[in-house]
A and B are shown apart, each in its own frame.
Chain A
Amino acid sequence: MAVTAVEVVYRGIFQRLLSRAICRTIVLAARKEGKIGTAFGRYSDSPERNGIPAKYFAVVADDPLELQETLAQYEPKAVDVSIVVDDSLCKGVESWAWYGLQPINELTKEGGTVLVTSIQESADLLEDMHVKDTPYNLAIVKGPKSFSGLWVYKDDHTDVRILGALAKVCPQLVGIDAYKETIREQWDELKETSANRAYDRVQSTPVEPGQGNPEEPFSFDMPGWETMEEALVVRPVSVGGGFRGGEGGFQPERNEVFKKWSTRTMRPVINFETCTKCTLCWLQCPDTCFDVTPEGLYDSDMESCCGCGVCEDVCPVPECITMVHESNFNDNSSQHDHWKRDRDGYMAWLEEMRAASTTEKADVGRTHGFYEVGQYEKEFEQTGVAGDD
């Protein structure tokens, strides 16, 4: 039986058409080799929501009966290649329906490949990717994340570069010639050239069992019909109390399972030394993620933050709150704890984070969406492909 399945992990809504194009082209190219396939999105996602992690799939088989056997209607149980078109999703995928955090490589078969578009090195990505007990490969298509609008996508050749790389890392799915023919038909010869170049250039690194992020991904059990609340009534959480259970400050109670992980693409970093305790971030945060410390400072709880950037926008103190891209962080630990423990170390780290941010806040007001303003251009320069013929 020769069934091959691929997933594309992307961020809604601005990568949906990119993912759809990748999966459709896989199935159309498979037809050139006499195979049959299907392409579909994960229905329980809500990919129209900004930044929401979502999935698209392509399943290819030798004949219709074999394709039926795969029951390709739902998220496959295992895939040969997990394609990741935003490397911040290497931290894991949480669906809109909050089932916890699914490691990015959870569905990747033994010996399969995680194929990421990234300007990071494989060692950096492996800090985010959860450990797996079977070996697989990590392949990188060098390039920044491709984001675009609702009905068109940035024609930066990300689609065909991924397909070219896919032909190299998973030739049993579709060979490069079939992709090239299909790409020529669907687009043009320039994109065919891009695919071919990615085929030649893609580098794949073996990942051994145990290699990667050792954290246990967040998950929870769902109750049965006899034990859950009638009509799934959601009870309120109590108001909360002092900071970390202490006497001073305030910390709201939070839902035990409703947490934020990879939904966020940016997070606020806070300068506790310039904070004027004006309360605006605490008041305006739509997710109540600020804890009030005993000294009246505001510590952002990273399991609650969706990365919207409102806090940065309303903060009246220049550069007191700066939104910084998630690729700079490996955990959800408290910034306030860090500052209390080691003020000098924290301030040095803060400067480092500010330098990592490309935001020119004075000019643009606030950051928003997935990218810091100017981030794409900066990342594109870092790929070294600009000016490459």
Chain B
Amino acid sequence: MTISTTDIREKEQLISGSEAIAIACAMADVDVITAYPIRPYDTVMQFVSKLIADGTLSCEYIIAESEHSQFEIVKHASAVGARVFTGSSGVGWFYAFEALAVTCGLRLPMVAMVGNRALDDPGAFGTEHNDALAVRDLGWMLRWVDTAEEAMDAAFMAWRVAEDPRIYLPCAISTDGAFLTHSQQIVQMPSQEQVDEFLPPYDRGDFVLHPDNPITIAPQVNEDWLIEIRRQTDAAMRRARDVIIEAQDDMNRIFNREEEDPFIEEYMTEDADVVLVGMGTLSLPLKVTVRRLREQGKKVGFVRVKWFRPFPAPELQVALSKFKAIGIIDRDYSLGAPQNGGVLYTEIRSALYDVTPRPPMIGFICGLGGREVTVDSSTEMFDKTFEVAETGHAEEPLLWIGVRS
């Protein structure tokens, strides 16, 4: 008995988000993949290994001795012009933190999958977004997805934007542990021709580290140079917005995808009074709740943030200012933050500071440790947001939802 091989030319696949990204590696002809196991990221390792064993994927596949080396190896491979893929989860991602930080300043494009996982101890492997969010200040582009199909699209998009000579920054795709990494869905596959048309080869030009192109990277810099380097990295991150818009246009056209906003997804928001905003797979219970509440005549909607870095402030300013109240759902925490709010809450609050009218807002922390975000808890959050709409003010700006008291 053999386990059936994955024929990636099949038009339709039953695959998990991790498997979708592994297949994207094969279709994007990735040159170097490094890995170190930690749940739930390790699922992508298994599928990469299988694709290599099946002869579908040909690449250097290096199992490092730790996450730190794992990210250092792809960083260096990227410097010599290799298209790279890697990833981790939770504290594994944190073990690589030094390598994560330096990759941005060195302007080395890299695509990583973060299988979102709680930062244990106490031991836990359910979804929390704090792992990926920890690099939000450093120059990593951060993307959140909610289906296996979107995970695959986002991977192609990530290489395209990261390797763009205007950008040269690393990009992490966040896939919620369990809901995306361990759950198999029906995915409609793009053809190899479509992928090739969308994703040109990685060309580092004269920035490539090669004996024929002798350059030095990562010299010692102090007060004479570093702030200028930071300003350059900042400029690259600012340029990423336009490159993402360009790439999304191409993806919609080449992959025959429906027109969609590159940065946010709006679900039944057109005539909504209140909306909830969140990231990742909690979109599933939220969308179901929106439909059920609308059947009861309640005008509610949901906004999903797809890119966290660059942060879609312009899009959210336009989208959110029209509602009577907004509720922000964080599957993360930022203890001691203003209003004791989560990371997304605080960012959106900041993004809306100059907007008129500025909608009253409330923050929610829920689903930590992979706790189920249910229709009941989603309904509770809508109810609380309606209360804010009525009074124009959140009595308590931040609520924890679904916690045993």
Task: Name A residues whose Cβ lies closer than 8 Å to a Cβ of B.
Answer: 17, 24, 27-28, 31, 36-41, 43-44, 68-69, 71-74, 151-155, 186, 222-226, 231-232
Contact = CB atoms under 8 A, between A and B. Distances in A.
Nearest to A17: B3
Nearest to B370: A43
Highest count of chain A CB atoms <10 Å: which of B1, B2, B122, B182 = B1
A6 B14 CA distance: 17
A151 B183 contact: no
21 contacts: A17-B3, A28-B14, A31-B12, A31-B186, A38-B184, A38-B185, A39-B14, A41-B182, A43-B177, A43-B370, A44-B370, A68-B287, A73-B178, A73-B284, A74-B372, A151-B3, A153-B1, A154-B1, A186-B4, A223-B404, A225-B403
Interface string B167-211: 000000000011100111110000000000000000000000000
Contacts of B125: 43
A105 to B, nearest CB: 22
A31 B12 CA distance: 10
Contact of A38 (B12, B183, B285): B183
A73 B184 contact: no
Contact of A43 (B2, B12, B178, B285): B178
Contact of B186 (A36, A154, A226): A36
Given A38-B186, A155-B1, 18 more contacts: A24-B14, A24-B184, A27-B14, A27-B186, A28-B14, A31-B186, A36-B186, A38-B183, A38-B184, A39-B184, A43-B182, A43-B370, A44-B126, A71-B288, A73-B179, A153-B1, A224-B404, A225-B404
B236 interface: no
B333 to A, nearest CB: 13
A36 B2 CA distance: 26
B356 interface: no
Contacts of A74: 372
Contact of B183 (A44, A73, A155, A226): A73
Contacts of A224: 403-405
Given A153-B1, A223-B404, A226-B405, A231 B122 contact: yes
A329 B109 CA distance: 60
Contacts of B375: 71
Interface string B196-234: 000000000000000000000000000000000000000
B248 interface: no
Contact of A232 (B122, B178, B185, B405): B122
Interface residues of B, number: 31
Dominant secondary structure at the B interface: loop
A152 B2 contact: yes
A43 B1 CA distance: 27
A24 B15 CA distance: 9
Interface of B: 1-4, 12, 14, 16, 40, 122, 125-126, 177-179, 182-186, 281, 284-285, 287-288, 370, 372, 374-375, 403-405
Chain A to chain B: the 6 pairs with minimum beta-carbon distance, closest first: A155-B1, A43-B178, A40-B183, A224-B404, A224-B405, A39-B184
A163 to B, nearest CB: 15
Contacts of B16: 40
A225 B185 CA distance: 35
A58 to B, nearest CB: 9
Nearest to B50: A151
Nearest to B283: A68
Highest count of chain A CB atoms <10 Å: which of B2, B40, B281 = B2
Contacts of B2: 152
Given A73-B281, A222-B404, A225-B405, A68 B182 contact: no
A344 B40 CA distance: 54
A154 B3 CA distance: 11
Nearest to A148: B1
A68 B126 CA distance: 21
Contacts of A28: 14
Given A71-B375, A225-B403, A152 B1 contact: yes
A39 to B, nearest CB: 5
Highest count of chain B CB atoms <10 Å: which of A69, A72, A74, A222 = A74
A382 B369 CA distance: 46
Contacts of A69: 288
Contacts of A186: 4
Highest count of chain B CB atoms <10 Å: which of A24, A40, A43, A225 = A43
A39 B287 CA distance: 20
A212 B405 CA distance: 36
Contacts of A231: 122
A68 B184 contact: no
Contacts of B184: 24, 27, 38-40
Contacts of A41: 182
Contacts of A68: 284, 287-288
B3 A71 contact: no
Nearest to B127: A43
A37 B403 CA distance: 31
Nearest to A58: B184
A358 B27 CA distance: 52
A189 B14 CA distance: 23
Given A27-B14, A31-B186, A152-B1, A71 B285 contact: yes
A151 B184 CA distance: 18
A155 B287 CA distance: 42
Contacts of B178: 40, 43, 73
A57 B105 CA distance: 45
Contacts of B284: 68, 71, 73
A40 B178 CA distance: 9
A253 B146 CA distance: 47
Contacts of A27: 14, 184, 186
